[in-house]
């Protein structure tokens, strides 16, 4: 029991540190011209499923069906698709990374974002079936989920839409690099060149502070 409490407290601290403190009147503020939130916009489950899809592809990058990335792309919101087209041409890392190193970079965000996405999906489905993506993701990320009463601060309900999209976009860029490197490795070669962005050496380049504010 103490261990479950510790895990719950850890998740709450991570959510507060990264998303910021959720305002209980956030829906009211949004209606008055505040920042768009995923829950009131009806996007929290959709974005949660996208995050779970990304986690699933990362966990099975060497054996994922070819259409998995196509399905992910089709599920992306139009504004993320638009940004992806330009960002993918300028994305680069400072030095060549192995598949393991790329996954480690992505895990910096996935380790806290996947639990929030899973809780969001379970809240919508009554802690029942949450889709194949939740079941196919990394075991370590899913183990950190606490099956307890869900409150909105533990989900994507209050998450700032723009900042959430920035995380998803950055993960998709890294995912594209991961898949390309996985193919190069399986073919016994290396990527000849990587598309360059000055400050994209890690997922920490995205502002992780106060994503709820």
Residue 39 within a domain: yes
30-77: per-residue pLDDT in tens?
Answer: 433 478 999 999 999 999 999 999 999 999 877 777 788 899 999 999
CA–CA dist 187, 189 (Å, integer): 6
Domain for residue 179, yes or no? yes
Q: What per-residue confidence (pLDDT) applies to 89?
A: 85
Give CA angle at 203 (34, 94), nearest 5°: 135
Lowest-confidence segment of 20-24, 62-66, 94-98, 112-116 by average pLDDT: 20-24
**Tokens matching residue 9:** 């407290």
In the chain, the number of structural domains is: 1
Question: 160: helix, coil or strand?
Answer: strand
> Which residues 6+ apart lie within 8 Å of 176 measured at CB?
88, 91
User: What local confidence, expressed as pLDDT, does residue 15 receive?
Assistant: 54
213, part of any domain: no
Give the Å distances, CA to CA, from 74 to 13, 20, 69, 78, 137. Answer: 33, 30, 9, 9, 19
Q: Is residue 40 part of a domain?
A: yes
Q: Does a structural domain hold residue 212?
A: no
pLDDT tens, position by position, 116-149? 999 999 988 764 444 444 555 565 554 444 444 5
**Is 211 within 8 Å of 18 (Cβ atoms)?**
yes
* pLDDT score, position 3: 53
211 domain residue, yes or no? no
Q: Is residue 153 part of a domain?
A: yes
0.75 cut: is pTM over it? Answer: no
For residue 195, what pLDDT is reported?
A: 36
Does some domain include residue 210?
A: no
Residue with tokens 């996208």: 50
pLDDT tens digits for 175-202? 999 988 888 887 765 554 333 333 444 4
The pLDDT value given to residue 200: 41
Question: How far is 96 from 190, CA to CA, in rounded Å?
Answer: 9
Structural domain span for residue 14? 2-205
């Amino acid at each position: 029991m103490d261990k479950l409490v510790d895990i719950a407290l850890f998740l709450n601290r991570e959510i507060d540190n990264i998303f910021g403190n959720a305002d209980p009147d956030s829906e009211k503020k949004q209606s008055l011209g505040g920042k768009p939130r995923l829950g009131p916009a009806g996007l929290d489950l959709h974005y949660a499923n996208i995050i779970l899809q990304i986690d699933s592809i990362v966990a099975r990058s060497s054996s994922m069906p070819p259409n998995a990335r196509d399905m992910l792309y089709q599920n992306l919101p139009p504004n993320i698709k638009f940004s992806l087209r330009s960002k993918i041409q300028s994305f680069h890392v400072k030095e060549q990374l192995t598949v393991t190193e790329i996954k480690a970079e992505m895990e910096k965000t996935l380790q806290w974002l996947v639990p929030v996405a899973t809780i969001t999906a379970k809240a919508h489905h009554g802690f029942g079936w949450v889709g194949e993506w939740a079941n196919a993701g990394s075991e370590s990320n899913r183990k950190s989920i606490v099956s307890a009463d869900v409150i909105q601060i533990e989900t994507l309900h209050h998450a700032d839409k723009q900042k959430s999209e920035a995380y998803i976009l950055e993960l998709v860029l890294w995912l594209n690099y991961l898949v390309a490197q996985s193919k190069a490795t399986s073919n016994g070669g290396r990527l000849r060149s990587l598309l360059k962005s000055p400050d994209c050496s890690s997922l920490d380049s995205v502002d992780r502070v106060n994503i709820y504010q």
